[in-house]
Amino acid sequence: MVAEDKSSREYKNSVFSMLFSIKENSLSLFNAVENTNYGPETDIKITTLSNVLVKGQQNDISFVLEDKIVVLIEHQSSINNNMALRLLIYIAKVYERMVDRRDRYRKGRISIPKPEFIVLYNGNEDMPEQQELKLSDMFKDLGVDEVPNLELTVKVYNINKGHNEELVNRCAVLREYSSFVYLVKEHVKSMDLGAAILRAIDDCMRQDILKDFLEQHSQEVYNMLYGDWNMDEALEVRYEEGEARGETRGIAIGEARGETRGVLRTARQMKAKGFSSAIISEITGLPEDEIEHLDY
């Protein structure tokens, strides 16, 4: 059985990114979503970037698959309607790393893999089976019949239990991962998060759900999932604090004096809720030694 590790709550990877960074799993997932049939011999080059979409969380995977560059994201909280803009920034950084600086200035046209953006949603809010988020929907004063000069489309799939079952069942690992997340959600209704994760891990191994993966990585899975869910709650706390201060964006940097007061209030509230200094520092930007000396 996994013992709770309270010494560190700052995790870079998520269970999703760790599980689907395995070549055969990412291939199976892409085949399921796009209804393709890439075989195990297909070459994949991982191009995942760290701390671009959510600081401190790695809930995304990007990889080059033949002529495509695929960005896969897991969402366990509310769908962010600015995701198209965030992915525009993400893919620009991927291309910047992928294309040699000298090649960008060649006279002849160079070829780059075409992008595909996929979000898998397993949060608690009601969401449609499928939806698309478009960058052009964010443009100011775009005419009804006007063709935008720049577009980016994100496909969003609801993979919660009872949704998109045909898609989920096409990928055994996705089906089992969704079952694992579902069990955590069910158990957390009657016990604290740590106990719920431990119970879900135990249930899954007994039911042969992600058994090999969990047997090898149960401690890491516990740490990562505990960190992910605490990070989501911490971000919500900070957002609520921002709204209370009347900020347009709850987690944006506001006026220096007001922001400092708000950050301190957030840090105190998080500390009172039992968050570690590492997580509080990640969210607020305050030094850990300063957090240690904060009173409630």
pLDDT at 249: 46
What is the amino acid identity at position 159? I
pLDDT at 261: 61
Helix (H, G, I), strand (E, B) or coil at 139: coil
Burial class (CB in 10 A: 0-12, 13-18, 19+), 104: exposed
Six-digit token pair at 282?
Answer: 């990640």
Phi and psi, residue 269, nearest 5°: -65, -40
pLDDT at 233: 54
Task: Output the pTM of the full model.
Answer: 0.71
**Most confidently modeled range among 18-27, 119-128, 147-156:** 147-156
Mean pLDDT computed over 258-265: 61
Q: If pLDDT is split at 50, 70 and 90, which confidence band does 267 have? A: confident
For residue 120, what are the β-bridge partners? 74, 157
Whole-number mean pLDDT of the chain?
80
Q: Which residue has the higher pLDDT, 169 or 287?
A: 169
Which residues neighbour 20 within 8 Å (Cβ) at sequence distance 6 or greater?
26, 29, 61, 72, 173
pLDDT at 250: 44
Q: What DSSP character marks residue 24?
A: H
Q: If pLDDT is split at 50, 70 and 90, which confidence band does 209 have? A: very high
Mean pLDDT computed over 141-146: 88
Which residues neighbour 44 within 8 Å (Cβ) at sequence distance 6 or greater?
23, 26, 27, 63, 64, 65
Mean pLDDT computed over 86-112: 90
Alpha-carbon span 81 to 75, nearest angstrom: 12
Kind plus residue range of the DSSP H or E element containing 18? helix 15-20
Q: Which residue has the higher pLDDT, 293 or 43?
A: 43
Q: If pLDDT is split at 50, 70 and 90, which confidence band does 260 have? A: low
Six-digit token pair at 191?
Answer: 């016990």
Q: Which residue has the higher pLDDT, 271 or 81?
A: 81
Mean pLDDT computed over 99-128: 90
Six-digit token pair at 26?
Answer: 């990412």
pLDDT at 69: 92
pLDDT at 11: 35
| Percent of the residues in the chain that have a pLDDT greater than 90, as a whole number | 42
Beta strands in the chain (DSSP E): 44-46, 60-65, 68-75, 114-121, 130-134, 153-158
Decide: 173 and 19 in contact? Cβ < 8 Å: yes
Q: If pLDDT is split at 50, 70 and 90, which confidence band does 251 have? A: very low
Decide: 185 and 176 in contact? Cβ < 8 Å: no
Least confident of 46-55, 115-124, 194-203, 245-254: 245-254
